[in-house]
Amino acid sequence: MSLYFFRISTGRYSGAADQPYEFEDRAAAWTEMTEVCANLLGGISRGLKQDAEWRMELLDENKEPVFRISLIGESQKALGRTG
């Protein structure tokens, strides 16, 4: 069993959980992360501003990133297009 932490970042805010989660392996950690994201993304996407990013990371016991899932709202300006 390995210990992992979740970190969510949006705009200037970034915060990691203080309490670790224990998973059997990386595959189990990924499965849990995708399930948590699936439960959150509806609300996150409804509130996402243009040219903003929301990110969830799974960190190992040293708080180094293992997995990252991002949601990015890009406008034409950010994409380098006009019109």
Beta pairing partners, 23: 2
Q: Give residue 32's pLDDT.
A: 95
Parse the chain into domains and list their residue ranges. 2-73
**Do 8 and 41 meet the contact criterion of CB atoms below 8 Å apart?**
no
Mean pLDDT split into 10-residue runs, the chain, 83 residues: 92 82 94 94 89 93 94 80 60
> In sequence order, which residues have a C-beta less than 8 Å from that of residue 33 and are 6 or more positions away?
6, 56, 58, 67, 69
Q: Give residue 77's pLDDT.
A: 74
Q: Give residue 15's pLDDT.
A: 82
Q: Give residue 79's pLDDT.
A: 67
Indicate the pTM of the whole model: 0.79
Q: Give residue 37's pLDDT.
A: 92
- For 80, counting Cβ atoms within 10 Å of its Cβ (0-12 exposed, 13-18 middle, 19+ buried), the class is exposed
